[in-house]
Amino acid sequence: MPSFLLRVTKVFGLLLLLLLIYTLFRMCFFMFNRPAFSGITAEELQHIFLWGWRFDVSAILVINSLYIVLMLLPVDTLSWQKWQKGLRVLFIITNSIAFLFEIADWRYFMFNHKRSTADVLNMVSRKGDFLVILPSFLKDYWYLFLLAAVLIVVFYKVSYWVDRYFDRLYAQLLPHPKATMLNVIGQILGLAVVTGLSVIGIRCGLQLIPYSIRNAVEITKSQYSSILLNTPYSIINTIQNTTLEPSTFMDEAEAYALIQPAKQFAGPFQPKNVVIIIVESLSKEWTKLGNGVDCTPFLDSLMDHSLTFTNAYANGRHSNDGVPAILSGIPALMDEPFIESIYSNNKIVSMATLLEQKGYSTAFYHGATNGSMNLFTYSQAAGFDHYYGRTEYNNEKDYDGAWGIYDEPFLQYFYKGLNTMPQPFLASVFTLSSHPPYALPKAYKEIFNKGSQPIENSIAYTDYALKRFFESARQQPWYANTLFVITADHCSPAASNEFYANGAGRYQIPILFFEPGNEACVGYNDVLTQQIDLLPGLMQYLGYSSPFYALGNSMFDTTVNHRFVINRADFVYEWIQDGYRMKFQNDRAIEAFAYPADSLGIYNLINKGFNESAQGQNATLWWKAFVQIYTHAMVNNKMTLN
């Protein structure tokens, strides 16, 4: 028994060491991302750190469960020197891997705006994305890797010292008593007690339902929940979240009466060419619409000749969220992007599938390495005839060294490709130069260098690339009969102020409908709209009269009385409707703010009876109807009318 108690003491000491390290990690995470948590008080931060230990203990116990069991076997394992060395290696490797994920998140959070979840494992497994961006990540954030290396070395040294210390204590137990049945039974009971306590720790307590990442918003405000969590816990907790749980709040007929995904518009159909330009990270704030840093002189000028939607929102935070939202009307409401989920093979509607019924030729262009973000697979599922990427471009002198082909040459390649397409055509192009690491061609580094943040320079370069594209396209015979739709995949990970960093502004994007020579398609429109509205909006604009499935509402449909915007972040739904911005979890609003009056979300109306008010109940009803229809349609593969 003395040997077993010594082993328990050793395990407990090492776990306390890890808890201290995770507390230090939380402080580092907070300091590295301090601008994202403006307004937090010292009292709230203390509350978060105290509660954070629950999530730390849970992650530590899961990561070290095998080590604990092998250390506390009901035999005298301290006498097995090779066994102890093997356990030390296991302990160092498993925890070092967890450290690397945690430390990488101190900077990855800037782009992700959440703790990394299990979908980061999918990114690591995609060589086309992970390996190409790794060198630039190492270059830009070398200090993190240096810090990680130093930490792991120190961690190894301390662990080695702990091993030696307990070896000396074990040596003092000589002569070691022989194992007896009573001794073995005592160790088995001791292991059972440790196992029971570990289960409680993994569950984060004795409450009826084990805690999960979703419980973070019950402990602190949603915008601070990432401080409360740690990255290993976030990954572990979501690794099994492969299925979507259907939500049922009301009768099916009642839900469909509100949302009405079956759409049909009046004709006659106008067979215009359609070009969808999706600009990487084009936040509204970078344009003249944002009243902030203006990096887009060309787009600004084009807005004066376009129908520009000034109150438009993205439906996700990532590129592989935004593309399906724009082209297929599918919002990002799952723990992972739709195109990486188990539902990616579902039958879906897209601009391509609908317009192909009208004889359109279709193509999707993206200058990244083929297969990046699964966009090639999505383009096939969405019915595009052709995909053109870095492989098809076939000129590595224009490769940016990280993601793919610089925007200016690739957009020139795009317009030349349009020249070869049979009309009418639908073609979508997705730019990439305004993505970290914001690489610029050497010839333009001295031209686009006036921004206070790297993204401002890359946005300015992409704006110039778009100008060059339109200068070339304007000379082509198909140009006059073409509708151009310009928008963003999502907002920038960087921001110039608090509203765009943490408020609703982190979803605000421009949407432009530009049709050369059509004066009826000019003006500024403040209708509340979102990416998933583009699919029905385009169909109504063209006079597409056949019925089709769309969760969004056309921005041109004047019969829509209740417009809304939906998003989901940190396992909380965000919903904008009728002058309010709300956050929902389970079946109720947990935060509500007057919007846009309280654009920074300072005055929470929940404590003033918002959920019981007529406005609160009405908004909740609409949100429930949408979530119910979305989840059931996704799970049952019914996002089409047939």
The pLDDT score that the predictor gives to residue 173 is 67
CB-CB contact of 615 with 580 (8 Å): yes
Average pLDDT over residues 618-635: 96
Q: Per-residue pLDDT for 548 more than 80?
A: yes
Residue 128 has pLDDT above 60, yes or no: no
- With a CB cutoff of 8 Å and minimum separation 6, the contacts of 37 are 30, 223, 224, 227
Per-residue pLDDT at 127 exceeds 60: no
Q: Are 305 and 520 in contact (CB under 8 A)?
A: no
The pLDDT value given to residue 92 = 94
Give the number of other Cβ atoms within 10 Å of residue 549's Cβ: 21
* CB 210, CB 204: distance < 8 Å: yes
Contact 267, 531 (CB under 8 A): no
Helix (H, G, I), strand (E, B) or coil at 250: coil
Written as six digits, the tokens of 255 are 């839900």
Tens of pLDDT, residues 520-541: 999 999 999 999 999 999 999 9
**pLDDT single digits (tens) 286-309:** 999 997 789 999 999 999 999 999
In this prediction, residue 112 has a pLDDT band, given cuts at 50, 70 and 90, of: low
> C-alpha dihedral over 154, 155, 161, 164, to 10 degrees?
-140
pLDDT tens digits along 374-412: 899 899 999 999 999 999 999 999 999 888 999 999 999
Helix residue ranges, H only, 203-318: 216-219, 225-228, 231-238, 252-259, 297-303
Residue 400 CA: distances (Å) to CA of 270, 395, 436: 39, 11, 11
